Amino acid sequence: MSFFSPRKTTRRRVLRGLMGGGVASLTLPFLDCFLNENGTALASGAPLPVRFGTWYWGMGHTPNHAVVEKTQTGPGIDFLKETESLIPHRDKLCYFGNFNMPLDGQSNYTHFSGWVANRTGSAPEAQGQIPAPTLDQLVADTIGEGTRFRILDVTSVGIARENYSARSTYNRGAAEIDPVALFNRIYGPEFVDPNKADFKPSPSVALRKSVLSSFTEQTRDVAKTLGAADQQRLDQYFTSIREVENQLALQLEKPEPNRACVIPRAPRELSPDEVASAREMESVVETHKIMSKILAMAVACNQTKVFNMVFTDNFANVRRSGETYTHHLLTHEEIIDPELGYQPLTFWFNQHAMQGMADYIDILDGIPEGDGTLLDNCLIFASTETNYARVHTIDGVPVYLMGGAGGRVKTGMYVQGGGDPITRVGLTAMQAMGVPISKWGTKSLATSQTISEILV
């Protein structure tokens, strides 16, 4: 990594150095050898580790064609044509309907306010503002230690900036967009195979840890000359560096064997024609499958406990092969078929999004772990930014929770929100993950009421 002297370093150079400097990292695999005889817990009696993820799709649902609305909370989700691909998985998830998203007089910044309020608990006061950390960041603050990656961000739509995980407006991570790059990042030279007999820690790890410490100490002097806002941003980078230092120390230790960790086959490079069609929905579906498999195995290998997957972005910049209009434009321009009662091409995109969710469930549920599967030991917060994209509604935005969180959450439940703030779902998810939080959200989105019906 680059080494800078504070006296010769400008503020811009410090930030660029912190963001671009190479750092070493570590994998600490899941300790299968520590399971009890039944495979239901660790030998010490502690439960198996639980991971948290998010899954995002753009443009919401088609009203009255996705999920049958019920008047009460209870077991059983009735999926309709748009979501029929989820029928085989109805016992692996929960659906949350009729929750409201009050903005307290703030503008509804289309395709933005919805996901920000849902994931941060606060409505933005300006376009582009992210007023609080997203819930995955809060979960990572609680469970993200001891793994190679504090959070892994991935998207299948090819737009790195459209990632719905952020610490603040100015600290929004970019998602990995390329399957080959994702594979190399996870399974490149710094990956330590937990099942390999010989273990030789790299001598460069200790050196980089020492250089990293020196870099941090010297740039603290520069921070004293900055304004309050820049000091806050720089402190966030220092926090990340301290996490890396802890990871580097662990990398010098031999990992324990992990039977669930199997390095997947490296994906092939895309041809020029495939790159050109990367935002066609048919390609997005296939890219999503490949990247989901790589990401799922990274979770199984305990390289991360918090992860985010974007299927399509909030403006749905995807097309159908041979078509000109994107999914987003179709939601506004396509005429409603009088017999069907919906926009046919828009509906086709929505169906493919739900097929993507079904694929994601299949992949996570296909990896055995303990006496269940990886999905059983995960909790996935699946959300979008709007209810009905044609008119940009944000009340009734659909939310799903996938997985049982290691037995902490009941699945197969339909939850009727009754007009309560949608933040109840996020608060419930975070409490299930052990986040020490009793209240979440601001103004009319503030809530201290979890959804007890789904908590075990």
Please write the tens of the pLDDT for every residue from 211-231: 556 555 556 666 777 777 667
Task: Give the pairing type, strands 51-56 and 306-310.
Answer: parallel
Q: Which H, E and C letters describe 403-417, residue by residue?
A: CCHHHCECCCEEEEC
Cα–Cα distance measured from residue 46 to residue 40, given in angstroms and rounded to the nearest whole number? 10
227 Cβ partners below 8 Å, 6+ apart? none
Of the chain, the percentage scoring pLDDT greater than 70 comes to 73
SS3 (DSSP) at 280: strand
Does the residue 259 lie in any domain?
no
Residue 410 is encoded by which pair of tokens?
Answer: 């009941």
What pLDDT shows up at residue 330? 97
Does the residue 118 lie in any domain?
yes
240 Cβ partners below 8 Å, 6+ apart? 18, 150
Based on the fold, state whether residues 62 and 178 are members of the same structural domain: yes
What pLDDT shows up at residue 266? 77
Q: How large is the average pLDDT for residues 381-401?
A: 97
Predicted TM-score of the model (pTM): 0.79
What pLDDT shows up at residue 122? 98
Based on the fold, state whether residues 99 and 17 are members of the same structural domain: no
Cα–Cα distance measured from residue 191 to residue 183, given in angstroms and rounded to the nearest whole number? 11
233 Cβ partners below 8 Å, 6+ apart? 15, 170, 171
Based on the fold, state whether residues 241 and 368 are members of the same structural domain: no
Tell me the pLDDT band of 201, cut-offs 50, 70 and 90. low
Tell me the pLDDT band of 207, cut-offs 50, 70 and 90. low
Does the residue 260 lie in any domain?
no
Q: What is the mean pLDDT of the chain?
A: 84
Instruction: Please check the confidence at residue 264 and state whether its pLDDT lies above 90.
Output: no
Domain limits for position 23: 1-30+201-253
The answer to whether residues 311 and 357 touch, using CB atoms and an 8 Å cutoff, is: yes
Instruction: Please check the confidence at residue 249 and state whether its pLDDT lies above 80.
Output: no
Instruction: Please check the confidence at residue 351 and state whether its pLDDT lies above 90.
Output: yes
Based on the fold, state whether residues 126 and 225 are members of the same structural domain: no
Please write the tens of the pLDDT for every residue from 10-45: 323 333 333 334 433 323 233 344 456 666 665 556
What pLDDT shows up at residue 210? 57
Does the residue 263 lie in any domain?
no
Based on the fold, state whether residues 374 and 281 are members of the same structural domain: yes
Does the residue 262 lie in any domain?
no
Comparison of pLDDT for 387 and 278, the residue scoring more: 387
- Stretch among 128-142, 188-202, 223-237, 354-368 having the lowest mean pLDDT: 188-202
In order, the DSSP letters of 118-131 are: HHHSS--SSTT---
Residue 67 is encoded by which pair of tokens?
Answer: 């999920």
What pLDDT shows up at residue 208? 56
Based on the fold, state whether residues 280 and 386 are members of the same structural domain: yes
What pLDDT shows up at residue 30? 39
Based on the fold, state whether residues 7 and 95 are members of the same structural domain: no
Residue after which a domain boundary falls, among 187, 218, 253: 253
What pLDDT shows up at residue 10? 37
Q: How many domains does the chain have?
A: 2
Comparison of pLDDT for 135 and 242, the residue scoring more: 135
The answer to whether residues 113 and 107 touch, using CB atoms and an 8 Å cutoff, is: yes
The answer to whether residues 434 and 387 touch, using CB atoms and an 8 Å cutoff, is: no
Does the residue 431 lie in any domain?
yes
178 Cβ partners below 8 Å, 6+ apart? none
Instruction: Please check the confidence at residue 239 and state whether its pLDDT lies above 50.
Output: yes
Segment (H or E) for 310 = strand 306-310
What pLDDT shows up at residue 333? 96
Residue 264 CB neighbours (<10 A): 14
| Strands lying side by side in the sheet with 51-56 | 74-75, 413-416, 93-97, 399-402, 378-383, 51-56, 306-310, 152-155
Of the chain, the percentage scoring pLDDT greater than 90 comes to 64
Based on the fold, state whether residues 365 and 400 are members of the same structural domain: yes
CATH number of the domain residue 356 falls in: 3.40.720
SS3 (DSSP) at 454: helix
* CA distances to 55, 80, 328, 398 from 390, in Å: 22, 19, 9, 15
Residue 72 CB neighbours (<10 A): 9
Cα–Cα distance measured from residue 191 to residue 52, given in angstroms and rounded to the nearest whole number? 22
Based on the fold, state whether residues 124 and 240 are members of the same structural domain: no
Based on the fold, state whether residues 146 and 70 are members of the same structural domain: yes
Based on the fold, state whether residues 45 and 2 are members of the same structural domain: no
Residue 3 CB neighbours (<10 A): 11
Instruction: Please check the confidence at residue 92 and state whether its pLDDT lies above 70.
Output: yes
What pLDDT shows up at residue 23? 39
Based on the fold, state whether residues 85 and 149 are members of the same structural domain: yes
Does the residue 266 lie in any domain?
no
Please write the tens of the pLDDT for every residue from 40-79: 665 556 567 899 999 999 999 999 999 999 999 999 999 9
What pLDDT shows up at residue 225? 74
What pLDDT shows up at residue 263? 67
Does the residue 117 lie in any domain?
yes
